[in-house]
Amino acid sequence: MALDVREAVETETSPRPRREITTAFVVSRVAVLAVTAAILLYAVPPLVAAGSWVSLALLCAASAAIAFLYLTRRFVPAKYLVPGTVFLIAFQMFPVAYTVTTAFTNFGDGHRGDKDAAVTAIETGSVRQAPGSPEYSLTAALRGEELVFLLVDPKTKQVRLGDAKGLSPLAGAQVGVTGKVLSAPGLTVLKAPEAAARGKEISALAVPTADGVIKANGLSRAVEGKAALVYDAGCDCVRGNGDTWKADEGQGYFVNAKGEHLAQGWQVGVGLGNFARVLTNPTISGYFAGVLGWNLVFALASVLGTFALGMSVALALHHPRMRGTRFYRIALILPYAMPAFAMLLVWRDMFNRDFGLINQLLGANVDWLGEPGTARFGVILVNVWLGFPYMFLVTTGALQAIPRELTEAAAIDGATPWKAFRRVTLPLLLVALTPLLISSFAFNFNNFNAIALTTDGGPFPADSPQVGATDLLITYTFRLAFGAGGAQFGFAAAISVFIFAIVALISAVAFRRTRKQEEVYA
Amino acid sequence: MRMRALGVAALAALAFAATACGGSQPASQSASSAAPSASASTSAAKSGGTLVIWADPSRVKPLKPFADQFGTENGVTVEVKEISKDNQTTFLTASEQGSGPDIMIGAHDWIGNLVQNGAIDPVTLTDEQKAAFSAKAIQAVTFNGQIYGAPYAVENIALIRNTKLAPEAPATIEDMIAKGKALKAAGKVKEVLCIPVGQKGDAFHVYPIFASAGGALFGTTSSGDPDAKQVLVGSPDSVKAFGKLKDLGEKGDGALRTSITNENYIVNFAAGKCAYLISGPWAMSEVKKGGITYDISAVPAFKDGKPATPFVGVQTFFVASKGKNKALAQEFVANYVTNKDVAKALYEADPRPPALTAALQEVQASDPDAVKFMDAGKDGIPMPAIPEMAAIWEPFGIAENAVVKGGDAPKAAAAAQKAIDGSLKH
């Protein structure tokens, strides 16, 4: 890529080319910038509502920087780099960083929110209706600007006024047949839509009574209730029902003296706990090696199988005497063009022992997905079927780039076609395709769909229901993290970090070897 | 000079874009299909009252007219949004981010998990309202002594039989298997019984048979709820029950087979390939399409066994605790959908027996199936709503699969128990 010297001299001496600023140019720039700004500013109202001022400041700074960058004539390379960098941060770095930080928390079912949310949930969940208290018919009304409740006892038809101070008798109110108050002296009775608009205030108003509080239950009823469990900030504990649950910041639960905890917990950091669990829990570490071994076999067999098949077909179609190549190409691409999701389900049903196409065609009675050996063979077969058109496509492309003279020269030198392929075509192909093979390996290493939709990890041995014969690390992880104990995002993130490390290590080694290979053949 | 003009123009456009974006509702709605409720919440803030309801596809259409009526009566907008996949998880995630609905529709066995995540509020029903529902429905939505939603449909599995092949309802499992085997020997059917097992078992469908053989999942607490501390999958009684499943399995009677799966069991029955089907109301449209004559009865019990109790599931309206309009949501759930007409409309869209006794009685006349399903679930137990139930399904299913294939029952039960204990303790 050495520049022509004369050209370089010319570009330096010639005056900087000035682009004519046309109307279309201005309009298009303004339009693009306006759209970008609109998208950025769309995030402002939710951020203001949530009160996240740091994010808001970052957003404003980013918007200003983008506007400045594209409104000046300088920083030309940055104009091209910034969009890519923004997307890289948003869709690559942020998810990775988020996964890694999640791995250090107990985020999951029972620990989704923060402590305040857990306290609110515990208190609201424990509100019981006071025994024997009436189900009031409720009408919301305004006393001046203040919201009050007009409560009608359905049995006595007695009307009372409830406000933040308590209940007081109300005289002169007119009650309709349904128990709603139609009018009352000195008060503005709210109609349904007006009451609906003040829903938040109505939910918030609590009328204190001797036994608890009267709260609205919807817009037309109110009940007297009392929270059985109450949070006490002084001891950082929840009291009620003759017991005390102390907050345990290590677990994110309120725990009592017997070690029992309340259902609602909150998210806390657990340090390396999730990682330690992966390494020390016998049900996880005990099966890890076996699953990893099969996982490597699966990924390797998928890559080699698809590559061998795809390349053979590509070579066959590349032969000069081959006819009808267009038809074959279309037919071969079909598996690739079908949605893998649906195809995997179709294959699963084809493997069914009694109703499946394969046994019916072969006249066999093999329990394909019910025995470890056949199930493993089956999933590899399906994966090869789904994957070889891709290898066929890329090999066809790479073959076009290898000059035919090379193989012809080899033939003149007396090489057999096999030898010419082995010594000339394959090495040249591999130089171009090895990076693709490595990425295909990384993809198949984590090929969740191929397993989850066909065998779902099965068949499972009777004595260990946790890990099946065809489980990959990723499907196994998924079952551990989302199957039994509800969703455990923190734990799942920790295992993802491990899987990432394994794939990264294998890929790094493979890429190193590729570089050596290039040095040899280049 | 030129540059400055360009800059001013661009800044003006920027400001314009910002205000346009804040002011025009449709534009912002289309811009954020990824965050549907963010736009819903902004519109709610504007009009003062929007009630957002999330439902699965089959319930959106019948709910619409009633939602609109409720909206007109109360002067609010009611949005019914369709959620078609992973409803519970979607609801939990959205609630957590503050973009969830005000009302969610789902199965009662979500309650435990939703409560531990603080996602739903209790609902107060009057004694009168409680009495209007079937006792089982109220029992199902009660968790820790609180009612957590308004039930509207009750569903359980039953034995559906092809009356041409098997005119009489079998009195016991033994009778049913004998008849099924005789029909198979005579070449009239291909399978003894159509019940899904698959490669991972199916705890839900096999549970009545398992229970009749004496098996159990959990002990019971003093209040009659399932006790998460006592997992009984590996208990001696359950081991015996797994042994019975083994006798019915591939090496025994051949009534339970791993090749019969959730995808093919109803189709096979509808095509006349088996005389008996164990399934729920959701199978009926397919069965009717098959054009066979059928009848519905309770899943029979073993001759000297316990009753074959199916799980009862109750479809429920939940009030989201992080909703924007909780008063309206409470009003809708506690005082509006407990209405007979709403229950009937939902029934017509998706025929599952209504939980309101009055609605069930009206439906009865036109659809005897609904009542037969209800009768078949008379002895049923509400599906455990405790979050720990999540730990049961998979290990239990795998143990079932193992014994159906002829595996050792004590070994399979012990392994399942160990796996469940392990995941409950972490």
**Tens-place pLDDT, residues B249-266:** 999 998 999 999 998 999
User: Which residues in chain A are closer than 8 Å to B200, comparing Cβ atoms?
Assistant: 456, 458, 460
Q: Least CA distance to A116: which residue of chain B?
A: B118
Band (pLDDT 50/70/90 cuts) for residue B404 is very high
Nearest-Cα distance to chain B for A440, in Å, is 29
Residues from chain B that touch A194, judged by Cβ atoms under 8 A, are: 75
Report how far residue B377's alpha carbon sits from residue B359's, in angstroms, rounded to the nearest whole number: 17
The reply to whether residue B419 touches residue A283, judged by beta carbons under 8 angstroms, is: yes
Residues whose CB falls within 8 Å of the CB of residue A220, separated by 6 or more in sequence, listed in order: A137, A138, A139, A180, B331, B335
Number of C-beta neighbours around residue B421 at 10 A:
14
Q: What is the DSSP string of A91-132?
A: IIIHHHHHHHHHTTB--BTTBSS-HHHHHHHHHHHTEEEPTT
The residue whose two tokens read 């551990």 is A480
Whether residue A477 has pLDDT greater than 70: yes
CA nearest neighbour of A380 among A506, A289, A295, A500: A295
The Cα A43–Cα A211 span in angstroms is 46
| Residues whose CB falls within 8 Å of the CB of residue B60, separated by 6 or more in sequence, listed in order | B80, B81, B82
* Residue B225: C-alpha distances to residues A240, B19, B313, B396 (Å): 21, 56, 15, 20
CB B402 to CB A223 under 8 A? no
Closest residue, chain A, to B321 (C-alpha): A121
Q: How many residues does chain A have?
A: 522
Q: Count residue pairs from A and B with Cβ separation < 8 A.
A: 244
A199 and B38 in contact by Cβ < 8 A?
A: no
Chain B residues inside the 8 Å CB shell of A121: 115, 118, 321
Residue B268 near residue A380, CB atoms below 8 Å? no
Using a CB-CB cut-off of 8 Å, the residues of chain B touching A467 are none
Partner B contacted by A194 (CB < 8 A)? yes
Cβ atoms of residues B200 and A479 within 8 Å: no
Distance CA B296, CA B286 (A): 15
Q: Which of A50, A203, A456 sits opposite B326 (nearest CB)?
A: A203
- Cβ–Cβ below 8 Å for B416 and A265: no
In chain A, residues with a C-beta closer than 8 Å to the C-beta of B96 are 112-113
Q: What are the distances in angstroms from CA B349 to CA B9, B61, B82, B345, B366?
A: 56, 8, 15, 6, 14
How many C-beta atoms lie closer than 10 Å to residue B118's C-beta?
27
Q: Would you place residue A15 in the very low, low, confident or very high pLDDT band (cuts 50, 70, 90)?
A: low
CA distance A209 to A363: 79
Q: Look at B390 and A486 and tell me if their CB atoms are within 8 Å.
A: yes
Order of strands, sheet of B276-279, starting from the edge strand that comes earlier in the sequence: B276-279, B158-162, B294-297
3-state secondary structure of A225: strand
- Among B7, B115, B264, select the one facing A125 at the smallest CB separation: B115
Residue in A with minimal Cα distance to B416 = A465
Name the pLDDT band for A129 (thresholds 50, 70, 90). Answer: confident
The residue to which tokens 């959620």 are assigned: B83
User: Distance (Å, rounded) from C-alpha A79 to C-alpha A101?
Assistant: 32
Residue B48: burial class (beta carbons within 10 Å; 0-12, 13-18, 19+): middle
CA angle (A443, A445, A448) in 5-degree steps: 80
Q: Given pLDDT bands bounded at 50, 70 and 90, which one contains residue A382?
A: very high
Mean pLDDT over each residue of chain A, to the nearest integer: 85
Contacts of A135 in chain B (CB under 8 A): 126
Work out the burial of residue A71: count CB atoms within 10 Å of its CB; fewer than 13 is exposed, 13-18 middle, 19 or more buried.
middle
- For position A279, what pLDDT does the model report? 85
* A39 in reach of chain B (CB within 8 A): yes
Res A300 pLDDT > 90: yes
Q: Which two tokens mark B61?
A: 């259409």
Q: Is B32 in contact with A194 (Cβ distance < 8 A)?
A: no
Residues of chain B with pLDDT > 90: what percent? 46
Q: What pLDDT, in 10s, does the model give residues B18-73?
A: 333 333 333 333 333 333 443 343 344 344 578 999 998 878 888 888 888 888 88
Residues 6 or more apart in contact with residue A283 via CB below 8 angstroms: A466, B419, B422
Mean pLDDT, residues A254-271 taken together: 88
Residue A467's pLDDT band, with cuts at 50, 70 and 90, is confident
| pLDDT recorded at residue B9 | 43
- Residues of chain A contacting B408 with CB distance shorter than 8 Å: 462
Say if CB B247 and CB B226 are below 8 A apart. Answer: no
Q: Is the pLDDT of residue B5 over 70?
A: no
Helices B409-425/B236-248 angle, 10° precision: 130
Give the minimum alpha-carbon distance from B232 to chain A in angstroms, rounded to a whole number: 16
Kindly tell me the burial class for residue B214, based on how many C-beta atoms sit within 10 Å of its own C-beta (0-12, 13-18, 19 or more).
middle
Grouping H, G, I as helix, E, B as strand and the rest as coil, residue A42 is coil
Answer whether residue A92 shows pLDDT above 60. yes
The pTM for the full model equals: 0.81
The reported pLDDT for the residue numbered A259 is: 82
With cut-offs at 50, 70 and 90, classify the pLDDT of residue A175: confident
Determine the average pLDDT of the residues in A484-500.
Answer: 86
| Average pLDDT of span A169-178 | 80
Distance of CA B5 to the CA centre of its chain: 63
SS (H, E, C) chain B: CHHHHHHHHHHHHHHHHHHHHHHCHHHHHHHCCCCHHHHHHHHHHHHCCEEEEEECHHHHHHHHHHHHHHHHHHCCEEEEEECCCCHHHHHHHHHHCCCCCCEEEEEHHHHHHHHHCCCEECCCCCHHHHHHECHHHHHHHEECCEECCEEEEEEECEEEEECCCCCCCCCEHHHHHHHHHHHHHCCCCCECCECCCCCCCCHHHHHHHHHHCCCCCEEECCCCCEEEEEECCCCHHHHHHHHHHHHHCCCCCCCCCCCCCCCCHHHHHHCCCECEEEECHHHHHHHHHCCCCEEEECCCECCCCCCCCCEEEEEEEEEECCCCCHHHHHHHHHHCCCCHHHHHHHHHHCCCCECEHHHHHHHHHHCHHHHHHHHHCCCCEECCCCHHHHHHHHHHHHHHHHHHCCCCHHHHHHHHHHHHHHHHHC
C-alpha to C-alpha distances, A208 to A9, A133, A211, B214, B308, nearest whole angstrom: 89, 14, 8, 51, 50
Complex ipTM tops 0.85 = no
Is the CB of B259 inside 8 Å of chain A's CB atoms?
A: yes
> Residue A394 has what pLDDT?
92
Confirm if A497 and A489 have CB atoms less than 8 A apart. no
Instruction: Report DSSP letters for A476-492, one per residue.
Output: HHHHHHHTSSS--HHHH
Q: What is the pLDDT of residue B180?
A: 93
CA-to-CA distance for A61 and A239, rounded, in angstroms? Answer: 47
Residue where the block lists tokens 């199936």: B369
Q: What element of type H or E holds A216? A: strand A213-216
Query: Average pLDDT, stretch B295-299?
Result: 94
Give the tens place of pLDDT for each residue, B58-116.
788 888 888 888 888 888 889 999 988 888 889 998 988 888 999 999 999 999 999 99
Q: What is the pLDDT of residue B150?
A: 93
